Amino acid sequence: MCADGPGATIVPSSFEFYIGGSVGPSLYVRLADGRLLYEHASAGGYSGVVTEASPAPEEWARFMEAVDRLAVLTWEAEYVSAHSCCDVTYWYLRMETGGRGVVARGANAYPGSAGPEVSSQFREFRAAVERLIGRGSGF
């Protein structure tokens, strides 16, 4: 699902993002057959309620600008910290766009952070995902 021509907005050819753990909120977003679907749960696991988001071209453009600015496509494959044994927040990202892609995941560890603290880089990416699905910041 890509547009061609001047000023065209590139929508990723594939996109999947999950963040959550055994307790607390979780968010699962995926692009399926050109549709952006997401599921939010408040107590771990899955809610079973899948919602479709319909980002406008300018919202996709802002999201892709954030992806570029945060160098998301250069993230390492895996981020794990010594604090990954309990009360773990897991995250997973798979994204392809313009012939480039990334598959990355973490457990209480994030790009741009030396410890278990959520980096500003990851926080900004998550906020961009949440804006894309129309949920604002914080899930």
Going from N- to C-terminal start, the domains of the chain cover: 14-132
Q: Looking at 6-15, 16-25, 60-69, 129-138, which range is the least confident one?
A: 6-15
pLDDT, mean of residues 35-52: 83
Question: Rounded distance, CA 134 to CA 58, Å?
Answer: 13
Q: Looking at 27-31, 47-51, 71-75, 91-95, which range is the least confident one?
A: 47-51
Report the amino acid identity of residue 25.
Answer: P
Q: Can you read off the two tokens belonging to residue 87?
A: 């009360």
Residue 1 pLDDT > 70, yes or no?
Answer: no
**Most confident range, picked from 2-16, 32-46, 123-137:** 123-137
Among the CATH numbers 3.40.50.620, 3.30.1560.10, 3.50.50.60, 3.10.105.10, which is that of 14-132?
A: 3.30.1560.10
pLDDT, mean of residues 10-17: 94
DSSP H helices, 24-134, are: 57-69, 120-132
pLDDT, one tens digit per residue, over 17-26 is 999 987 778 9
pTM more than 0.85: yes
Contact 10, 98 (CB under 8 A): yes
pLDDT, one tens digit per residue, over 61-119 is 999 999 999 999 999 999 987 765 667 889 999 999 999 999 999 998 999 998 788 99
pLDDT for the residue 2: 43
